[in-house]
Amino acid sequence: MNEKALDGVRILDFTHVQSGPTCTQLLAWMGADVIKVERPGEGDATRGQLRDIPGVDGLYFTMLNHNKRSVTINTKTPSGLAVLDRLIQSCDVLVENFAPGALDRMGITWERIQALNPRMIVASVKGFGPGPYEDCKVYENVAQCAGGAASTTGFDDGPPLVTGAQIGDSGTGLNLALGIVAALYQRTRSGRGQKVLAPMQDAVLNLCRVKLRDQQRLARTHTLHEYPQYPDGRFGEAVPRAGNASGGGQPGSILKCKGWETDPNAYIYFITQAAVWPAVCKVIGEPGWMDDEAYATPQARLLHLGPIFRRIEKWTMTKDKFEAMEILNQYDIPCGPILSMKEIAEEPALRATGTIVEVDHPTRGKYLSVGNPIKMSDSPTEVTRSPLLGEHTDEVLGQLGFSPDEVAAMRAEGAI
């Protein structure tokens, strides 16, 4: 086993569903010893959700809990709490994403944790930070809606839209992981733990930063030239939905490719980057556009983006998305195929880098998962399967100093 970045860090993982587990999974991939605490009998709700094989942990669970150990503890029993106390004393970080107040209701207050282990970092995901909604339970799509993503996603003539990317859950998990490693680093100097909070609304808004940029531009100029509403449509008071228009200064759009009539993913994203405009004109067979006043400058083109992309699409429709990609890449024209999940699952390059991994599981057999998206040259990731419910209870309790008789007694009273 190679040395890992977080070797020696022990995490008391009280997370469930998606946001928290993505955070602790990343930490486990970076070498932390992650001990997942679950309720006896049922465990993390995702073990039983969206099951594709009866009686077997769902992929929802297995794909979010690799490289962890599972311990069952009923924290609402005195002996369960006693086990938890010892875990708090022997871990560096407690990570949780319970509903607001749940940890306090268990009796695990910040004061209690501080008394047991002043070096402990307590890291939480909540739906909202302090404010009117701080007591609300939150799932992914609520965060997308409250964080500004839904109101700015979709088409002008349609309703707000949530995205398939789990920016509220997995996005917040990333923020929390960064907060934890920063707090661990600060602790090397201060000797103290601290609280780390990553609210989901804030995480989504952070990813929607360019839309807050546009809100202020709109308020000042009453228009947004790179949006599809310009020049013919009307702008209201809030940033409108921009369809597939590029969020940056280089206009782009999703265009049909050969086969679009039957294949829902026969499309390409095409960016008319200013630097390669002459090449775009050449490839699509409009050399006259290079010098034509209406098209020659980026400013002039903003008035004609609709017709420009329709003309480019006439060309992309003559090629399949991979052929188009190959031709456009020869001219350094930024573009990307719309890849289906099926195509991504079969992509050899993603397998080679460990971003798509095949994992073997004792009751499920082989399945695909997304590996560590962060690559470190001196801290390689080896993805190992998710634990069965309570698989490591005896092992961990033994390490905490409980005797086999004590463990048996706790099991008999339903505390573990």
Among residues 13, 44, 57, 169, which one is catalytic?
A: 169
| Binding status of residue 39 toward ligand COA by CB under 6 A | yes
Q: Which residue in 249, 250, 287, 252 sits closest to 267, CA to CA?
A: 252
Binding mask 165-184 for ligand COA (x = CB under 6 A): ----x---------------
Alpha helices in 260-374 (DSSP H): 277-284, 298-301, 305-316, 321-330, 341-345, 348-352
169 is catalytic: yes
Ramachandran angles phi, psi of 400, nearest 5°:
-80, -5
Shortest spacing between CB 7 and ligand COA, in angstroms: 27
Whether 401 contacts 86, CB under 8 Å: yes
| Binding status of residue 197 toward ligand COA by CB under 6 A | no
Shortest spacing between CB 142 and ligand COA, in angstroms: 8
**Facing residues of 368 across strands?**
358
Distance of CA 322 to the CA centre of its chain: 27
Amino acid 209 reads R
- What DSSP string describes 95-137? EE-PSTTHHHHTT--HHHHHHH-TT-EEEEEESS-SSTTTT--
| Binding status of residue 139 toward ligand COA by CB under 6 A | yes
Binding mask 86-105 for ligand COA (x = CB under 6 A): -----------xxx--x--x
Which residue number is nearest to ligand COA in terms of Cβ? 99
Binding mask 374-403 for ligand COA (x = CB under 6 A): ------------------------------
Region binding ligand COA by CB under 6 A among candidate stretches 61-69, 119-127, 174-182, 255-263: 119-127
Helices 170-190 and 200-207, interaxial angle, to 10°? 110
SS3 400: coil
| Binding status of residue 199 toward ligand COA by CB under 6 A | no
Please identify, using beta-carbon distances, which residue of 139 and 269 lies nearer to ligand COA: 139
By annotation, the residues acting in catalysis are 169
Q: Which residues bind ligand COA (CB under 6 A)?
A: 17-20, 37, 39, 73-76, 97-99, 102, 105-106, 125-127, 137-139, 169
